[in-house]
Structure 1
Amino acid sequence: MPECVNKGCGRKFTDPTEPCLHHPGPPIFHEGQKGWQCCKPRVLTFDEFLSIPPCTTGVHSTEAPKPVENAAAKPSPEIAAPTVKDGIETYGSAVSVTKAAAPVAKPPTPAKEKPVVEDDPSIPVPLDSPCKRRGCKAVYKDPKTYNTPCVHHPGVPIFHEGSKGYSCCKRKVLEFDEFLKIEGCKEGRHLFVGALISKEEEELVNCRYDFYQTYSDVIVSIFAKMVGKEKAKIEFRQRELHVDLPMPNNKRFKQTFPLYGPIDAENSTYVVLTTKVEIKLKKADGTSWPTLRSDEATGEIIQIGQPTKM
């Protein structure tokens, strides 16, 4: 059966007219965030990136789109072209040039590989669930699916200076589409359900915060990235602020702030942004706050409107 090459699909099909869910735009990796140009979700981990649901319905395709030529993206003439042997791309050394060689950047340290996770036999597997192991394209049809080999990558993705690959094998490519096609290097058992993470395994983390004030409000910024808007909890009380912010990778910022002054809890508000949570505390008496927390009061008077950092 032919295999669809549309990004986000990759399914084998027999009927070319059946709906194809895919991403028509290219992937975007910027400042640690990952997503697709054609839709808005942005995530931090590569596994979350691969699980972003397709945003467009179209038809299957077996022809890869032609790359758009970009002079800025062409390799430098000072770098030898890669040679391919046994499916492994090897890059030669740079040819001699008269100008001084630039310092070589140290490759980033790859993320720590996680221990192998296996499915719990007591947990039912939904029909048509894809295998969660990197590089495996198997789809669960019945219990016999577990008897088929799971050829996958146990390592983590590594993107460095334009090359793309996995920490568990040597092959490196330049194009993202080619990276998705790198065949697995290890055979094991499929993972259709994955590990269930309990709340006891959550990692409590500290986040930087600061505040500034006006005559009527105290504005607090908590710098926590990619907070889950639906699960974030902010509770306002007259002299306390309770904050509970879940984040990706099972991390959570949870803290209670004893406030320096009383607030109007009913008229206090907050908004969850991509890189921070901004909280507006409505003052109950209009006095100046020298600190945000009552347990850090020093007697110093801070001018209203000037920010102070914690």
Structure 2
Amino acid sequence: MEHCYNKGCGKQFKVSDNSSTSCTFHPGEPYFHDAYKEWTCCKKRSTDFTEFLNFKGCKTSFHSHVKPVEKPKPKPVEVVDEISKPPAKPQEPMQRPDASSPLIPLPVQVTASLKKSLEEQLEKLKLLADGDKSENNAVKVGDPCQHRGCAVKYDGPQSDHSKCIYHPGFPVFHEGMKYWTCCQRKTSEFDVFMKQEGCEQGNHVWKKTAAELQAVPTCRTDWHQTPSHVYATFYAKNAVPEQCSIQANPVKLKVKLVFDAGKSLFEKEMVLGGIIDIEQSDVTLAGPKVEVKMKKAEAAAWKTLDIKEN
């Protein structure tokens, strides 16, 4: 007796009687999906496996004693176990370059707003830059004291002996608050801010020359960073492009800013908290500020802008 290999038959038969014995079977394939079992040939389906096996075949022919050739099984997809993978080795930090390497001037862009503001004071800036001592620079009655916060005006030689009470710092306007950097008396009212008495006493200054710029106090500096860049912002209003100098090497930044339309000077040298790419760094001079955009040489967060201040 031979076993019939037609799907859905499973009966035994004599080979000699095969031509006279009919076989009812499924020519298709079994298919299992979403809890259903069905035959692809007749689409009979059920969720019960016993019922599925008892489905009567949909085709009649002769029994077959030839075992069907098994289809090759697909090769299993190799699943990589991410948990078992060894962790990637952390990237080695760059070797910090020598801070004494030459400083290179960074390219500077001047905004249209700053150009327009400076055009209005061009003649005055030229006089300050050249140290002009003509009659235009002589002190006149009614000239105000150049110290910030001092409201005294020149009324003759006796004015030199009056008290000069002023703010050695500079004004800051940030998030609705107004204050002087020297005494930090914050207020949200502009009139109250303007009436704040100075915190230092000295001599009146009726005219400022280029040499006297060295005595002007520093300006407020902020900084922030992105994954690729570090931005240092100097709130130096109306900076004079021809007299400003911003230089850097991979680990040092040196700035010289002549601002307040030529009345103030700020100089500072910083040892940077990271390494920068000089060729992809630049400077923007705008009306209210100077922004230095520095490209990080390595993808790492800086803890500080200036190492010397920490």
TM-score of the alignment, normalized to the shorter chain, above 0.5: no
Structure exhibiting the larger radius of gyration computed from Cα positions: 2
More helix by share: 2
* TM-score, structure 1 as length reference: 0.36
* TM-score, structure 2 as length reference: 0.36
